[in-house]
Each structure stands twice: as structure tokens, then as C-alpha cells.
Structure 1
Amino acid sequence: MPEEQAFCVLVKIMYEYGLRALYKNNFEDLHCKFYQLERLMQEQLPDLWSHFQELNLEAHMYASQWFLTLFTAKFPLCMVFHITDLLLCEGLNIIFNVALALLKVPTKKLKKFEKEYQTLRESQLQQEDPIDRYQRENRRLQEASMRLEQENDDLAHELVTSKIALRNDLDQAEDKADVLNKELLSTKQRLVETEEEKRRQEEETAQLKEVFRRELEKAELEIKKTTAIIAEYKQICSQLSTRLEKQQVATKEELDIVRSKVMGCERCRDLFSTAGALQVSSPGRDKASTEPLDEEKDGLKEQLRQLELELAQTKLQLVEAKCRIQELEHQRGVLMNEVQAAKNSWFSKTLGSLKSSASSSSTSQTPSSPKEGPA
């Protein structure tokens, strides 16, 4: 066959018969063929498959060249030509048939050779000198004894080593258990202390709440009382203001009445100017005519002084009431500030105690892990 035609046949086998896939993807398809061959051997040649398994003989050790070279590496060309013809006729699966056939043939020969060996061995043993046979058997037994003694020594050394390692592991485990027990006891103690602290803080919180409630009620009562007093003083101030206004109006009316009476009197008219001011009497007037006027004037002055005194007292009472109101307002502001400060102080103390309780609880619940010993 010319080289060109041989190359065309190779290309056809590679692409159309799937031989090219055996070389791709790190021989993935080739390993699949090995697995298929082993499964066929397990079903059709179980004895041979078991024998190969005992020898740890895998398919890639003997069948790789069968698939990759189509048996050309180990067999004569006349046989390879027939296998190639079968491959071109039936496909790549023909390799499995040929492989199984090749594996079946040596099985019969192996059994035959095994019988021949047994026969030959028996004849050699019969012809051999008993002394040599016993010496050889003795050497074999001595070698086996030495090998067993060596294995025994190795096993004893391994046993001692394992015992020492186990003893060390046990000591480390006991030390670790002691550390864990100590940590457990300390954790329990901290837990008891934390619970006691929590209970004490809860009692303090309850007491603080009660004190705060009483102080709050007291402050509210004081505020209500102060508010009532302020309202009462405001009412008194308004009443005093109204009274003052009424007295001013009444005084003005009385002054107007007195002025109108004086102006109606011919003898007293000259004592007042047109603007209502009191005129000084001339020295030439009669003493008898001025005496009634002086008495009436003194009465009017006395009445005016009394009105001015009442007005001054009313103004003083009004100023005192305003000062008292301002003082009460100041006391009310101080009480409100004290109540707010008590609220803030109680909330801050309660929050701080709760935070400290939470931090101590989290610290007691996360103990430090002991250092791990070597495995």
C-alpha cells in the first residue's frame, strides 16, 4: 500500500473509529477503556480477575499498548493485520474481544504449567538428598524465625513507643482536665458572685425606684402646692390691683367732691387756683375768717394723708406679693431642676449598674480556653 493511502487509513481510523480520543484530555478515554476491560474480566474471567487483584496488577500495566498501538508492539504483523481488518469492519470494540481472548488463552496454559511444575517438583524432591533438603528447610525456618523475631522486636518497640505516647497524652489530658475543672470552679464562683451582685443591684434598683417614686410624688405635691400658692398670690395681687384702682378712683372722686364743695364756697374759692392748687392766704386777712378755713384745710390734708398712706400700703403689699410670687417661681424652678437631676442620676446609676452586670456576666460566661497539648 502506498504511503499516501496508509496515511489516509490512519486518519480515518483516528477520526472515524475514535482512536484519536484515546490520546486527548490526559488519556481520559483510555482510562475509561481500562475500566470497561476490568469489568468485562470480572464478569467473564472472575478467577483471573481475582488473581490480578491479589497481585495488584491493574489494566494499564498490560493493556495500554493494546489500545494505543492496536497490538503492533507485542504481536506478529500477520496477527496485527487480522486485528486491523476486524477493527475496520466492526469498530474499536473489537479490541475488547481480542483482549479477552488473549487473556483466556494463558489461563489454560497456566493451569497446564502449574501441573507440570508440581510433577517436576515432586520428582526433584524424591531425587534430592534428605540432608540437603533438611538443611535447606532448616535455613528457611531460621530465616523465618529471624524475620519473626525482628517483627516481634519491631512490634515490641512500637508497643512501648505507643504506650509512652499514650501515657504522655493521658498526662496531658489529665492536666487539661485539672485546668478545666479549676476554670469551671472559678467560673461557678464568679457566676454565684455575679448572681449575688445582680440580686443586690436589683434590690438597690428597687429601693432607688421607691425613693425616686416618693421623691417624685413629694416634688409633684410641692409643685402642686407651689402652683396653688402662686395662683392664690396672683389672685391676691389682682384683687389688690383692683382694690387699688378702686381706691384711686374713690379718692379721685372724693377729691373732686371736696374740690367742688370748696369751689362752691365763696370764702374758700380763693384758696384754690384755677388749676386746683392751694393758694397761700394774704397777711391782711382777718384771723376770724381764716380759722374755719384752716380747720377745714387741716381736715382735708389729714384725709389726703390717710389716702396717700393707704395707697402706699397697698403698693407695698403689691410689691411684697410680686416678690413672693418671684420667690415661689424660683423655688418651683429649683424643685423642677432637682426632680430632673434625680431622674437623670437614677437613670444613669441604673444604666451603669445594668451595664456592669452585663459585662461581668459576659466575662464569666466566656472563660479563657486552655492551651492545647500535642495530639
Structure 2
Amino acid sequence: MQNYRHSSRSCRWHVNKTNLCTREARHILESPQDSAITRDINRTFPAHDYFKDTGGDGQDSLYKICKAYSVYDEEIGYCQGQSFLAAVLLLHMPEEQAFSVLVKIMFDYGLRELFKQNFEDLHCKFYQLERLMQEYIPDLYNHFLDISLEAHMYASQWFLTLFTAKFPLYMVFHIIDLLLCEGISVIFNVALGLLKTSKDDLLLTDFEGALKFFRVQLPKRYRSEENAKKLMELACSMKISQKKLKKYEKEYHTMREQQAQQEDPIERFERENRRLQEANMRLEQENDDLAHELVTSKIALRKDLDNAEEKADALNKELLMTKQKLIDAEEEKRRLEDESAQLKEMCRRELDKAESEIRKNSSIIGDYKQICSQLSERLEKQQTANKVEIEKIRQKVDDCERCRGFFNKEGRIKGMSSAKEVLDEDTDEEKETLKNQLREMELELAQTKLQLVEAECKIQDLEHHLGLALNEVQAAKKTWFNRTLSSIKTATGVQGKETC
């Protein structure tokens, strides 16, 4: 069996189409099966976006194809389940091409033979499948005999709809690939693959449990693409020769001829009637299942739509709140920027003022130091001059014998204590005056130093306030930015989840 591929599926399917120019294929003609077609259209892939809307483009195209085929093939007409195959084709090509490929599959690949002569060829396919089970899966074949489970009870849809009615679409696409490449016999490969992979579960079931497994659990198992891929690999690896199928077909026809010869016509008709009744009951059950699935899908879709609308309203409200928060944050940012600018201007003025005071105090201190230096120099010069003058006087006194008697050894005048006291008083007054001037200058220096210290303290205080203000401005900017960024991230995160 050839390997199947995913790419260019539409082109490859379209290559197999039949050129149709017959007027019977026009959908505008009346069909006696309109009601059945309309009923099946609403049950075909009700959860798929393209087919879920009543009266939508998908359902309209599907109705046209099914109706056109019912007019085109007057012998078979429309049969239940054809809508699923037509829908699969519509997902890959326009409706005209899909109709052509459908006709190709029905006529050239022999699918319509299954619907002829009271499904005689379909029962032949069931017999071939059971014989293949007897060869490939004997233990499961014997188990089905024990519980009286026949192939037509579980495999009718596999042959009539090519697995399109129950199984996931990505698995169905692969089956159609194989069908168009290898022919209708690939149904046996896929059917044996399904039975073989489910053997362990089926061996544990009774009659009712087996039917429920085929109807519910088996399609769910292949919703996993990995399981579907393994199934297709198993189906491709199984070798079923056409010679063997021909042999089983011959056995079936021989068996049917023997039964026809041995059976009374009334018994044969009764048996055929029972078989048709069973098929009718099975089809009605499948219709009920499809109707239930349709209702369930619509309820789920309505619930999902309501939830989506509620989430959309909540997201819109949150978006409005986020926008308002963003506007408030921008206003707060502008206000903080204005306050920061005012604070910077105030700090700049205070710094300029403090620098001016420092320069003024430095000038005063410089002048004070200069005055003290000048006074010290004048004092030293005066003391030096006085010492020189006193030495001159002493020298003159020592040289004069007459004057020497008026002075004692210390250089003071004898007997003139009053003059001495007067001289001492004058000297003391001069010293006191100099001391007072010195104290005043020291006091002025201390005041200047005190002012300098106060100015430095003010400068340090202003620098501290400036640092606090800058930190507050920076913290306010970070807080506003983080709050705005968090709001935007939150809004973006919620929308991202809803979109996934």
C-alpha cells in the first residue's frame, strides 16, 4: 500500500474527479428526498464552524451537493450518511469539484454498489470482514460469535460513510487519501486496525457493552492525533490481497445460492424482512444518537457563546477601568513632575542663597584676619620702637653722672613714686584699651565663626531636604510606572488567555 501524504490534498482529490456536464446534476431540479436531505444536513458536523449555522454557506453548499446527487443518480438517489462524505469533500474544494469527486467515489470506486439490491454487496463486505477477522484476530472473532455480535451491527457506517460519520476529521482525511490511492478495499485495512487495537477492551464486553463501545468509546479514542497516526500506520502495514477478497466474495455468493436453494421463499422473505427491520432499527438508533449529539452540541455552543459574551463584557469593563487608571496615572505623573520642578527651583534658590552667605562670611573672615594681622604688626613695631627708645634713654642716663643719681638699678626715678604711679596708670590704661580692642575683635571673630557654622548647617539641612525630595520624586515615578505597567500587563494577559 502506498504511503499517504497531507500536503496538496485538495489538488490530489480534485485530480480524481469526473467531468460532469449533465443537466440532471443541477441542484435547481426537484428531488423527492428533499426532506431527508434537509434533516441530515442539520445533523452533519453540527460543531464544525463551517456547517454549524442553519442556512449558512456550509449547509447551503452541502444541501446543493446532496440534492444534485439524488437527481443525478436516480437508481440510488440520496442515502443516509452521504452528507458526511460530501461535507468532508467540501472542506477541501468548491462545491462543483466536491460534487464531481463524490460521483467519482460513488461510481468508479464502487461505493454505490453497497446500496443496491437491498444492500447485498454491503452484506458481502460484512462476510469478507468476518473472514478476515477469523484469520487475523481469531480470538476476537470467536468472542463475537459467543455474544452473537455480527459485523452489520457495528460496521455498517464504516462502509456506507467511509468512517466520516463518527471519527475525527484528521483521521477521516487520511482514510480518503488511502481510498483514492488504493480503492475501496482500504476499508478492510482500517476496520481490522480498529478491531485489532481495541481487541483487549472488546474481549471484556458483552453484546450491549460491545455495541456501546463501538458507538461511543471507539470514536473518542481517536480524538488524539497520536492514536489516529498509529492506527493509520497499522492499517498501511496490513497486507490484504485482492485475491483473498475475491475468494471470500465467491464463498459468500456460493453460500447465498445454497441458502436460496434450501430456504422456502416465505422464510427467505421473512429473514430479509427481519434483517431490514434490524437495519432500520439500527439506523433509527443512529439517527437518535446524531439528534442527541446535535442538541448537545447546540447547547454547548450556546453556553460557550454566553460565556464568551460575559467574558467580553467583563474585559470591556476592565479595559475602561484600565484606561481611566491610565488617565489618572498620567495626571498624577504631571502633578509630580510640576512639584518636582518647583522643589528643584526652591532648592536651587536656597543653594544660591547659602553660597552667597558663605562667600560673604568668607570675605568677612578674610577682612578680620587682615585687620588682626595689621594690628599685630603695628603692635610689634610700636613695642620695638619703645624698646629702642628706652634703651637710648637708659644709655644717655648711664652716660650722665648727674642723672645717674636720680635713677635706681631698675631704671626707675628715686623719690618720685607719684610720677611712677602716674606713668603706671597711663601704661595700664593703654594696655586695657588694647585688651578691650582685642576682646572686641575676638568677639567679632567668634560671631563670624558662629555665622559660618550656622550657614554650613543650613546648607547641610537644605542638601538633606533636597535628597529626600529627589528620592520621593523618583519613588513616585517608579510607583506610577509600575502601577501603570502592571495594569497594562494584567489587561493584556486576560485578553491573551481569552483569545487562546
TM-score, length of structure 1 as denominator length: 0.59
1:236 shift after superposition: 0.2
Structure 1 residues 301 and 108: alpha-carbon distance in aligned structure 2, compared to 1, 3 A threshold: closer
Q: Which letter does structure 1 place at the counterpart of 2:461?
A: A
> Could you list the runs of 5+ residues in structure 1 that have no partner in the other structure?
1-41, 62-101, 282-293
Q: Decide which of 338, 346, 362 is 1:227's aligned counterpart.
A: 362
Q: Which letter does structure 2 place at the counterpart of 1:121?
A: R
| Greater mean deviation of Cα atoms: 241-250 or 259-268 | 259-268
Q: Which letter does structure 2 place at the counterpart of 1:328?
A: T
Deviations 1:260-317 (A, max 9, x none): 5666776765443211234336xxxxxxxxxxxx9xx75x866664454333323322
Please name the residue that 2:455 is paired with: 335
1:182 shift after superposition: 3.0
Please name the residue that 2:293 is paired with: 158
Greater relative contact order structure (CA < 8 Å, 6+ sep):
1
Please name the residue that 1:195 is paired with: 330
Structure 1 residues 49 and 155: alpha-carbon distance in aligned structure 2, compared to 1, 3 A threshold: closer
Query: For 1:115-154, what aligned pairs fall within 5 Å after superposition?
Result: 115=250, 117-118=252-253, 121=256, 125=260, 131-154=266-289
2:337 and 2:285 map into 1 onto residues whose CA distance is 75
Q: Which letter does structure 2 place at the counterpart of 1:146?
A: M
Contact 1:272 1:279 in 2 (8 A): yes
Please name the residue that 2:430 is paired with: 310
Aligned length: 271
Describe the SS at the equivalent of 1:272: coil
2:421 and 2:384 map into 1 onto residues whose CA distance is 18
Please name the residue that 2:111 is paired with: none
Q: Which letter does structure 1 place at the counterpart of 2:312?
A: A
Structure 1 residues 50 and 219: alpha-carbon distance in aligned structure 2, compared to 1, 3 A threshold: same
Q: Decide which of 210, 217, 229 is 2:352's aligned counterpart.
A: 217
TM-score, length of structure 2 as denominator length: 0.46
Contact 1:251 1:307 in 2 (8 A): no
Q: Which letter does structure 2 place at the counterpart of 1:321?
A: M
> Could you list the runs of 5+ residues in structure 2 that have no partner in the other structure?
1-177, 198-238
1:150 and 1:350 map into 2 onto residues whose CA distance is 80
Please name the residue that 2:189 is paired with: 53
2:432 and 2:189 map into 1 onto residues whose CA distance is 133
Describe the SS at the equivalent of 1:274: coil
1:341 shift after superposition: 2.0
Structure 1 residues 321 and 111: alpha-carbon distance in aligned structure 2, compared to 1, 3 A threshold: same
Q: Which letter does structure 2 place at the counterpart of 1:364?
A: T
Q: Which letter does structure 2 place at the counterpart of 1:342?
A: L
> What is the aligned-residue RMSD (CA, Å)?
4.0
Structure 1 residues 180 and 111: alpha-carbon distance in aligned structure 2, compared to 1, 3 A threshold: closer
Please name the residue that 1:365 is paired with: 485
Describe the SS at the equivalent of 2:192: coil
Structure 1 residues 149 and 47: alpha-carbon distance in aligned structure 2, compared to 1, 3 A threshold: closer
Q: Which letter does structure 2 place at the counterpart of 1:151?
A: E
Q: Which letter does structure 2 place at the counterpart of 1:142?
A: Q
2:464 and 2:391 map into 1 onto residues whose CA distance is 64
2:254 and 2:378 map into 1 onto residues whose CA distance is 156
Please name the residue that 1:238 is paired with: 373
Q: Which letter does structure 1 place at the counterpart of 2:483?
A: T
1:141 shift after superposition: 3.2
Please name the residue that 2:119 is paired with: none
Please name the residue that 2:469 is paired with: 349
1:148 shift after superposition: 2.5
Would you tell me which structure has more helix in proportion to its own residues? Answer: 1
1:201 shift after superposition: 1.7
1:126 shift after superposition: 7.9
Please name the residue that 2:122 is paired with: none
Q: Decide which of 320, 323, 326 is 2:440's aligned counterpart.
A: 320
Deviations 1:209-261 (A, max 9, x none): 22222211211111111111101000001111112222223334444455556
Please name the residue that 1:11 is paired with: none
Q: Does 1:182 align with 2:317?
A: yes
Contact 2:336 2:473 in 1 (8 A): yes
Q: Which letter does structure 1 place at the counterpart of 2:358?
A: I
1:130 and 1:262 map into 2 onto residues whose CA distance is 187
Contact 1:194 1:357 in 2 (8 A): no
